[in-house]
Amino acid sequence: MGNVNRKATGDEMAYATQVVREAFPQYEVVWGSHGDYGGGRAPRDHTLSFRLRDRWGKYHSNVIWVNPAGLSVITVEWVRKMVKLGTSNKPRSRRR
């Protein structure tokens, strides 16, 4: 089993969600995965992603990819930096 991709635990997901909410309290965190975006866009199979959505369903970030091994160490500063690097100020549509 040396080539099995690691999956995120429930505790890691809860921590990461808390950090993203702390960085952007005005938005909902929407988690996704490799298969949610057509399969070929993720850096690797079990990579997770998140987007920020307002209460009207408009997205306010691009897809931010996170390796499951790094979920337990992300910080508010890291989240803000990643969202800023990949996001313009205009809201995005519900579907792309």
Q: Where exactly are the structural domains of the chain?
A: 10-85
| Lowest-confidence pick of 49-53, 66-70, 73-77 | 66-70
Residue pointed to by tokens 């089993």: 1
| Phi, psi angle pair for 7, to nearest 5° | -105, 155
- Dump pLDDT digits (tens) for 5-55: 677 889 999 999 999 999 999 999 999 876 666 555 555 556 788 999 999
Q: 15: helix, coil or strand?
A: helix
Predicted TM-score (pTM) above 0.75: yes
